[in-house]
Amino acid sequence: MHTIHSFGDSEATIYGPGGSFRLGDDPTESITIRDSDTYKSKSGADGFIERIHKAGPTYITVKLLKTSLVNALLSQLHQVNHQSPANWGRNTIKIVRLGEDVTTCEALAFADYDHPSGDHGGQIWWEFIGSKDACHGR
């Protein structure tokens, strides 16, 4: 499942060791929640096809403009998370779609971030990873 929230109609806030702050203000910035569940089919000896479900992690990608001040805040939060194993995987992101629903993703760790290279149209992508049931309310 994919869920994309534009910061034009949604607000997102991150809470974690090292601080809490709002993610993105520009409507061209966004946050995506992606489940990595995989399904495979295989034929059994009895001729029936089995569907195998492998539950994978949840990925949250925050896409910010290169010029966004939030990049510096996320960089500082990333450093604090790396300083101690006790800080790792303790981030929460709360997304509020204006006038609609609230999604909360808990126990998130920094997975990766993409330096501005022009590949993403002047954006930096910050990726978080959580368990398969890290997000609630979507």
> Residue 117's pLDDT band (boundaries 50, 70, 90)?
low
Q: How far apart are the first and last CA of the chain?
A: 10
Q: What is the mean pLDDT of residues 90-111?
A: 93
Which residues face 91 on adjacent strands? 108
How many Cα neighbours within 13 Å face the side chain of 106?
A: 4
Q: What is the pLDDT of residues 11-49, one digit of tens each?
A: 999 999 999 999 998 999 999 999 876 555 666 666 666
The mean of the pLDDT values for the chain is: 86
Q: Is the pLDDT of residue 78 over 70?
A: yes
How many domains are there within the chain?
1
- Is residue 105 within 8 A of residue 39, CB to CB? The reply is no
Q: Which range of residues forms the domain containing residue 42?
A: 2-136
- Torsion from C-alpha of 18, 93, 89, 82, nearest 10 degrees: -40
Question: What pTM was computed for the model?
Answer: 0.82
Helix (H) or strand (E) run with residue 10 in it: strand 10-16
- Is residue 60 within 8 A of residue 16, CB to CB? The reply is no
User: Which sign, positive or negative, has the C-alpha torsion 97, 101, 104, 109?
Assistant: negative
